[in-house]
Amino acid sequence: MTKVYLSGSESINNEVKEFMSGKAEFTENIESAGIIINSTNFPEYEKTEELQYIEANSAKNIPIFTSSLCSSVSAQSSLQENPERLIGIGLYDTFSIAKRIEIAPSKITDDKILKNAENFLSEAGINYSIVPDRVGLIFPRIVSMIINEAVQVFSELIASKEDIDTAMKLGTNYPFGPLEWADRLGIELVCNILAGLQRDFGEDRYRPHPLLKEMIDLKKSFY
């Protein structure tokens, strides 16, 4: 059974442990790990420090899964001595509810390292899809944009939060409404995904709604 070293968000790492229970052996000794997972999404300085620690204390042929929701693997690679080890992954609170994990190698991810990472996921019975190396990957990016639009509707007093969520669940068969999803993912994460998209693409459609920022400052949730 592959030994896995976790760093980053405690809540996400606990979910990873539960999700991979019986499929991997978790170790506190980074030098013995065959797979490394970093689940930090933000702030950027914490992410950078953790990746640099991992790189300095682990074997150079070990794959590093790095959550890439707020910054692409390419952007994370710029400060790494061995960026070919990095593989993006979509990790967030409640990620295990989804039926599939998204992973995103960069253009310089080593083929052998990627193959080792894929073998680990396959042997653990984890469904995954390889997606382009972009901020937010696919599902979190789309959901964050839907949340941003729902917040706009809510802020204009067009509909209550309950009506917005009910309309989306009934109209699209989503398991959660967009404002429920914001609470589940974490409003701060949603805001950081949108800010990363706006930074990378330079388009106003990704600009986080001011209400999201206000709710972060006030430590509020929708429900």
> From first to last of its 223 residues, what are the pLDDT tens digits of the chain?
999 999 999 999 999 999 999 999 999 999 999 999 999 999 999 999 999 999 999 999 999 999 999 999 999 998 899 999 999 999 999 999 998 999 999 999 999 999 999 999 999 999 999 999 999 999 999 999 999 999 999 999 999 999 999 999 999 999 999 999 999 999 999 999 999 999 999 999 999 999 999 999 999 999 9
Assign residue 76 the CATH number of its domain: 3.40.50.720
Of 66, 97, 130, the last residue of a domain is 130
Phi-psi region of 105 (alpha: psi -120 to 50; beta: other; left: phi over 0): beta
- Asked if residue 117 and residue 18 are part of one domain, the reply reads yes
The packing angle between helices 139-155 and 161-172, to 10°, is 140
Contact 179, 223 (CB under 8 A): yes
- Asked if residue 197 and residue 170 are part of one domain, the reply reads yes
Domains contained in the chain, number:
2
Q: What is d(CA 54, CA 52) in angstroms, rounded to the nearest whole number?
A: 5
- Asked if residue 28 and residue 75 are part of one domain, the reply reads yes
- Asked if residue 124 and residue 17 are part of one domain, the reply reads yes
Task: Classify residue 209: in a domain, yes or no.
Answer: yes
* Stated pTM of the model: 0.94
Q: What is d(CA 150, CA 90) in angstroms, rounded to the nearest whole number?
A: 23
- Asked if residue 70 and residue 36 are part of one domain, the reply reads yes
